[in-house]
Amino acid sequence: MVTLEVVLALAQGLVVLLLSLGGWVLRRAIEQARETEKALAAVRERLVRVESMLDGVGRLEVKLDTLTETVMQLRQDVASWSGPR
């Protein structure tokens, strides 16, 4: 009986040890997942900012193209008003 009790006590101790180790590993994994989630949120926020900046640059490019066309048209108009050279 004593040998069986010792074996059962050792088995219980090992189970408790394994469960506590598993709990520690799980808690660490959850902490890492939270850190990763925060990092991904920061990356998403930066991506939104970059996309917004790219949209702004695209709009600015269109405005510059329009301005360039307007200036070229004005030059042609002025040249036509001044007559042949």
CA–chain centroid gap for 11, Å, is: 47
Burial 29-52 (b: 16+ CB within 10 A, else e): eeeeeeeeeeeeeeeeeeeeeeee
Q: Where are the beta strands (DSSP E) in the chain?
A: none
Can you read off the two tokens belonging to residue 85?
């050279």
Q: Tell me: the pLDDT tens digits for 32-68?
A: 999 999 999 999 999 999 999 999 999 999 999 999 9
- Is the confidence at residue 73, as pLDDT, over 70? yes
Can you read off the two tokens belonging to residue 53?
């900046």
Give mean pLDDT, residues 63-82. Answer: 93
